[in-house]
Amino acid sequence: MEQAQQPLLLDELVSRLSPNDPVAILLGTPGSGKSTFLCWLALHMARASLTPGAYQLPSWLGREQVPILVQMREYAVRLDKEYLPLKQFLILQWSRSHPNLAMKLPGELSEGRCLVLFDGLDQVATVTITGSGFTGVTGVSFGQIAATQVTFISDTQITAVSPAGTGVVDVTVTTPGGTSATSYDDEFSYQ
């Protein structure tokens, strides 16, 4: 994957995508229009996919593809309740939209006819926590919200999937010995 050294116009970014280099990560500050652009892109691809020949895509978007817009904050909320692999989550989401969608989209995906757009990737993160006394860890919290998928690595390291959130929160670790005290060093910042 090519990494841009300077900002690109969106049409330049999209034009650089190819079957051999099909991934782009759109970075920007909150409120800069990343989600709006993904929705706009999904809308245009849907129009072109649903009405072949009747709607002309802007030329810089290339060929029409079936858009799959994945709101990662919805996945993060689901992960807060129970672990569910992303593929299963998508199949459940598609089934709710249309009964045949969950059977049709995997085939379209494997044929390369889909444009998968992940919105809010920064809202689902596996975080490595370092410290001491983690043996027997029973929970990790980001602010007042429990993390999911807590994995014990060693007495000095664990990982956890952060729940959806905003701002800066304290990360606390609970073991049979109690819950860690909060300090400036345990802060987690949602981007």
Give the count of domains, the chain. 2
Cα separation, 139 vs 6, whole angstroms: 41
Residues 46 and 106 in one domain: yes
User: Are 49 and 66 in the same domain?
Assistant: yes
| Contact between 87 and 6 (Cβ < 8 Å) | no
DSSP 22: -
Q: Which two tokens stand for residue 84?
A: 């569910």
Determine, yes or no, domain membership for 2: no
pTM: 0.62
Same domain, 27 and 99: yes
In a shared domain, residues 170 and 94: no
Give yes or no: residues 115 and 141 share one domain: no
How does pLDDT run across 106-134, given as a tens digit for each residue?
888 888 888 889 888 766 678 889 999 99
In a domain, residue 43? The reply is: yes
Q: Is residue 138 situated within a structural domain? A: yes
Residue 1 forms part of a structural domain: no
SS3 (DSSP) at 97: helix
In this prediction, what percent of the chain has a pLDDT beyond 90? 26
Q: Over its length of 191 residues, how does the chain's per-residue pLDDT go in tens digits?
A: 455 556 677 778 777 777 777 788 777 766 788 889 999 999 999 999 888 888 988 888 888 888 988 888 788 777 767 778 888 888 888 888 887 888 888 888 888 888 889 888 766 678 889 999 999 999 999 999 888 778 899 999 998 888 777 788 999 999 999 999 998 888 888 76
Instruction: Say what the pLDDT of residue 129 is.
Output: 93
Residue-number span of the structural domain to which 160 is assigned: 125-189
Clarify whether residues 111 and 175 are in a common domain. no
For the record, the structure tokens of 176 come out as 């049979």
Residue 154 CA to residue 159 CA, distance in Å, equals 10
Q: 101 and 18 in one domain?
A: yes
User: Buried b / exposed e across 54-68, counting CB within 10 Å, b at 16+?
Assistant: eeeeeeebeebbbbb
8-33 pLDDT, tens digit per residue, is: 777 787 777 777 777 887 777 667 88
Q: What is the CATH number of the domain that holds 161?
A: 2.60.40.10
Q: Is residue 3 part of a domain?
A: no
Q: What are phi and psi of 120, to 5 degrees?
A: 85, 35
Do 131 and 173 contact (CB within 8 A), yes or no?
Answer: yes
